[in-house]
Amino acid sequence: MTQDGVNTGRRRFLVVATSAMGAVAAAGVAVPFVRSWNPSEKAKAIGAPVRINVANVAEGELVTGQWRGKPIFIVKRKAEMMAALSQDDLKARLKDANSEVVSQQPEWAANDARARDGSDLSVLIGICTHLGCSPQFVPEVGPQDYDRNWVGGYFCPCHGSRFDLSGRVFNGSPAATNLEVPPYYIEDNVLTVGVEGPEA
């Protein structure tokens, strides 16, 4: 239909088509811009903090994450697991029961639980401190081929290093030091690995 020699249908089509093309172009520009707010893979690899929801971690369960290209072991320890950590007979079997090698954990983690405020949530870098293998989580208490008095913890199959449920290394293990505790904090069931608090 024309009005004073103007094709209004064609005009309407051109306006709609131009608007649609503009919207597509704006989205094309916005998506990379919004993505640029997230840390790049390179930034993550060199230490950008990572966030892991721990709300649904079951007692006795191992959940893994990754920070700086390293595995992070997260375990919610049961009450009996926590009670065993401060037993004198266990501590007598450990190389560094009191976490005195300060480079292996933040200051606040130098306790039997090796966790913030003695929490039941254990957060460890899952790399053996001997030659860099990844230990296996063996929470069951009972005799094992590698330890007749096994009380649960981590066993590294590469060279036989053993660690308790706080990542403390047993005497007789090739590993000289405890598993490392990374800097972290927990807020609203979200574990942030890589910084010690929201203000850091």
Mean pLDDT of 128-147: 93
C-beta separation of 186 from 116 below 8 A: yes
Q: Which long-range contacts (CB under 8 A, 24 or more apart) does 12-16 make?
A: none
Domain-located, residue 173: yes
Domain-located, residue 51: yes
Report the run of H or E that residue 28 belongs to, with start and end: helix 8-35
- Shared-domain flag, residues 61 and 13: no
Span of 23-27, 89-93, 105-109, 167-171 with lowest mean pLDDT: 23-27
Q: Cβ neighbours of residue 87 under 8 Å, at least 6 residues apart?
A: none
- Shared-domain flag, residues 16 and 69: no
Beta strands in 56-152 (DSSP E): 62-67, 70-76, 121-125, 136-138
What tokens appear for 129 in the block? 């401190």
Per-residue pLDDT at 20: 76
Rounded to whole angstroms, the Cα distance separating 146 from 160 reads 7
What tokens appear for 25 in the block? 């172009």
- Shared-domain flag, residues 64 and 136: yes
- Shared-domain flag, residues 73 and 25: no
- The C-alpha angle 184, 189, 162, rounded to 5 degrees, equals 50
Domain-located, residue 198: no
Mean pLDDT of 84-91: 94
Domain-located, residue 200: no
Q: Is the pTM of this model over 0.85?
A: no
Position 144 confidence tier, pLDDT thresholds 50, 70, 90? very high
- Shared-domain flag, residues 20 and 66: no
Domain span at 105: 43-193
For 156-187, write each residue's pLDDT tens digit. 999 999 999 999 999 999 999 999 999 999 99
